[in-house]
Amino acid sequence: MSILVDSNTQVIVQGITGRDGSFHAKAMLGDGTKIVGGVTPGKGGSEIEGIPVYNSVKEAQDAVRVDASVIFVPAKFASQAVREAADAGVPLIACITEGVPVLEMLANYYYVRERGVRLIGPNCPGLISPGKCKIGIMPLRIHEPGGIGVISRSGTLTYEVVYNLTTSGLGQSTCVGIGGDPIIGTGFIELLEMFEQDDDTTGVVLIGEIGGEDEEAAAEYIANNMTKPVVAFISGRSAPAGKRMGHAGAIISGGKGTAEAKVAAFGAAGVPVAEKPDEIPGLLKDRL
């Protein structure tokens, strides 16, 4: 099994006629994802790589079953795209776009939840269940089907960790890049709960970074609710206070969000924290 997506998931690409949208639509299609349509206003009736293009998400939803949408549009149009998909009732929305203003994202967070749909991102690489479905930009070639769930705030660190898992014989059930912005659609705790309930997930890797207190909250949740082994990695241990490191959400402010606090929280919850990504497979194997 897997969480969020499987081999039956039908996906549309918002912004499919743009440079990034067309490139990644072709890649997802080649990796086995069921891309059933794309959306670009004013381009309805055309095709990209044999994929029909619609003028709106509602038009696509009326023509085909849409289980998920992935958004590749410029930041100034991203909130509109998210809300359009939510209004059409698309169950899962993955927003790859970065640079969405924080106040817009705050409003988007409540907007999608009020409509009972799930948002992954923004500013994220998407998600993948190897051999079943890829939504976003994660490279399939480093993944392998298996029982390890991966949740990460960092796209590139996800790839490094997944590569080490795969080369160590630990395949993945689902890998989810939640995004590195201060406000995101779906966080650690919701995904930890899903992995805990997934019969075929045997262990979880959580990749966090400095900034915010989501990792501390996740550590508390793990201590009280998780029966499956969890291993963590925290990036940015050498980052100076007040300096943003890569992601908009990766900044230590007001004495909160330090790497030390996160490592200590996981330690108190009995979760081993790797100092380097290549230590993760060994820590997992000790606990599986």
CA 29 to chain CA centroid, nearest Å: 19
For residues 210 and 251, is the Cβ–Cβ distance under 8 A? yes
In 3D space, the residue among 256, 261, 253, 252 whose CA is nearest the CA of residue 232 turns out to be 261
**CA separation for the pair 143, 158 (Å, rounded):** 11
For residues 139 and 161, is the Cβ–Cβ distance under 8 A? no
Q: How many C-beta neighbours within 10 Å does residue 120 have?
A: 27
End-to-end alpha carbon distance in the chain: 18
**CA separation for the pair 279, 125 (Å, rounded):** 23
β pairing state of 273-274 and 172-177: unpaired
Please report where in the chains the tokens 């993945």 appear, as a residue. Answer: 172
Q: What is the pTM of this model?
A: 0.94
- Residue 247 designated active-site: yes
**CA separation for the pair 257, 213 (Å, rounded):** 6
pLDDT at 155: 85
The domains found in the chain, sorted by start residue, are 10-120 (3.40.50.720), 139-285 (3.40.50.261)
Of the residues 71, 247, 269, 271, only one is catalytic, namely: 247
Helix (H, G, I), strand (E, B) or coil at 25: helix
Interior angle at CA 233, CA 232 and CA 236, nearest 5: 150
**CA separation for the pair 31, 33 (Å, rounded):** 6
For residues 72 and 100, is the Cβ–Cβ distance under 8 A? no
DSSP class of residue 279? G
Q: What is the DSSP string of 181-238?
A: SSS-SS-HHHHHHHHHH-TT--EEEEEEESSSSHHHHHHHHHHHH--S-EEEEEE-TT
pLDDT (tens digit, 9 = 90+) per residue, 251-280? Answer: 444 455 788 889 999 999 999 999 999 999
Burial of 197 from C-beta contacts in 10 A (0-12 / 13-18 / 19+): exposed
pLDDT at 241: 57
pLDDT at 210: 84
**CA separation for the pair 236, 215 (Å, rounded):** 13
Written as tens digits, the pLDDT of the chain (288 aa) is 799 999 999 999 999 999 999 999 999 999 999 999 999 999 999 999 899 999 999 999 999 999 999 999 999 999 999 999 999 999 999 999 999 999 999 999 999 999 999 999 999 999 999 999 999 999 999 999 999 999 999 888 999 999 999 999 999 999 999 999 999 999 999 999 999 999 999 999 999 988 888 999 999 999 999 999 999 999 866 555 555 555 444 444 445 578 888 999 999 999 999 999 999 999 999 999
Tally: H helices and E strands in the chain: 9, 14
pLDDT (tens digit, 9 = 90+) per residue, 200-241? Answer: 999 999 999 888 889 999 999 999 999 999 999 998 665 555
